[in-house]
Amino acid sequence: MEPHCRSDNDQSWSWAARRPRLLQYQKHIRLHEARQRLVSDQAKAATVGLAMGYERASQFGREYIRFFGAPPRKDADAI
């Protein structure tokens, strides 16, 4: 096979390599939107988490803390 030719396996590997970055980007955008809503709407963290598509408030809280370094309400109040 010539170097410039791609097989189907090459394309699936390429998508598999990009997928984690895409998911991280989507999470980044979703968490920043959640932070904005927490600050502007003064909404409860659980309500914002569910509105942003998280299945459980605890899941949202864990990811928020991991990303921003503080719990949602404490972080929003500090901004």
pLDDT of residue 6: 53
- Is residue 3 one of the residues assigned to a domain? no
Domain range for 58 is 30-79
pLDDT of residue 39: 94
- Is residue 21 one of the residues assigned to a domain? no
- Is residue 14 one of the residues assigned to a domain? no
- Is residue 23 one of the residues assigned to a domain? no
Which domain CATH number covers 76?
Answer: 1.10.10.60
pLDDT above 50 for 1: no
In DSSP notation, 37-77 reads HHHHH---HHHHHHHTT-S-HHHHHHHHHHHHSS-HHHHHH
**Measured between alpha carbons, how far is 62 from 56 in angstroms, rounded to an integer?**
10
- Is residue 2 one of the residues assigned to a domain? no
pLDDT above 90 for 36: yes
3-state secondary structure of 32: helix
pTM: 0.73
pLDDT of residue 79: 87
- Is residue 74 one of the residues assigned to a domain? yes
- Per-residue confidence at 42, pLDDT binned at 50, 70, 90? confident
- Is residue 60 one of the residues assigned to a domain? yes
